[in-house]
Amino acid sequence: MLELCMLASGSSGNAVYVATEKTKILIDAGLSGKRLAAALAAIGSDAAALDALLLSHDHLDHTSGAGVLARRYRLPVYATQPTWHAAEKQLGHIPSGRCHVFTAGGKISFPDLEVETFPVPHDAAGPVGFIFRHGGRAAALVTDLGYVTPYILDCLQNLDGIIIEANHDEEMLLNGSYPWLLKKRISGKTGHLSNVMAAECLKKIISPRTKQVVLAHLSAENNLPSLALDTICSRLEDAGITPGKQLTVRVAARHEPSCRLCFT
Ligand SMILES: [Zn+2]
Ligand SMILES: [Zn+2]
């Protein structure tokens, strides 16, 4: 069994729980240690049972609770060298024996879970996306990226489940209240994926084997869950992919656990 569950999603905090029979890990810890423990308890898991914490990049919405969680539960923490460097102050002291470095593009092996990583274009230090493999099943987590590179497209083939960023609606961002520089940053090549960009990526990676898609990291200001769903599902339908029949497409909740994906 390969299980994934969104614990929180968006610029107010991100964390994803990934579990197999023998391995339980957390990807990112962008909310307080207390809230993370409560979210894990709410899905029937336990922070004390975690085997590791992996960080996608150094932005606070992915790391704000990481130091506390790692110390409280004596968790090994995995991050790229640039992420360690950029997040050093904010993470605080973590004993060196529990600090692990992986390279973007490298693999992390747990007893019954393989985690592949790939670099993503984002304005952070050494940011990565993830593919989780267990028992012939595979699911990906890819958020916080300005665009989908050909290499990422290659990495995202033949997946059972896909968690992908659908950060903003391009018109809402353009016409919204954000300062021009911030709009430029978000829509730029190292910013965040729009609904349309997520749809275009999904069209190229959904295969007959893909059963579950989760839209993640939605902007509170520049997107709406219904708009993200409508935009993406209508584009998939135009491409001959029928959400609801062939696969489910859901939107991750911002503040509470949601969207459990389970592959047996
Ligand atoms: Zn983020
Ligand atoms: Zn980020």
Q: Which pTM does this prediction carry?
A: 0.97
Q: Domain 2-258 sits in which CATH superfamily?
A: Ribonuclease Z/Hydroxyacylglutathione hydrolase-like (3.60.15.10)
CA of 217 to the centre of ligand 1 (A): 7
CA of 179 to the centre of ligand 1 (A): 19
CA of 158 to the centre of ligand 1 (A): 25
CA of 56 to the centre of ligand 2 (A): 9
Q: In what order do the strands lie in the sheet with 212-216?
A: 107-110, 113-119, 128-134, 137-142, 161-165, 212-216, 248-251
Least distant ligand from the CA of 27? 1
pLDDT digits (tens, 9 = 90+) for 124-144: 999 999 999 999 999 999 999
Rounded distance between C-alpha atoms, residue 212 and residue 197, angstroms: 18
CA of 240 to the centre of ligand 1 (A): 31
* Residues surrounding ion ligand 1 at CB below 5 Å: 61, 144
CA of 63 to the centre of ligand 2 (A): 10
pLDDT digits (tens, 9 = 90+) for 59-115: 999 999 999 999 999 999 999 999 999 999 999 999 999 999 999 999 999 999 999
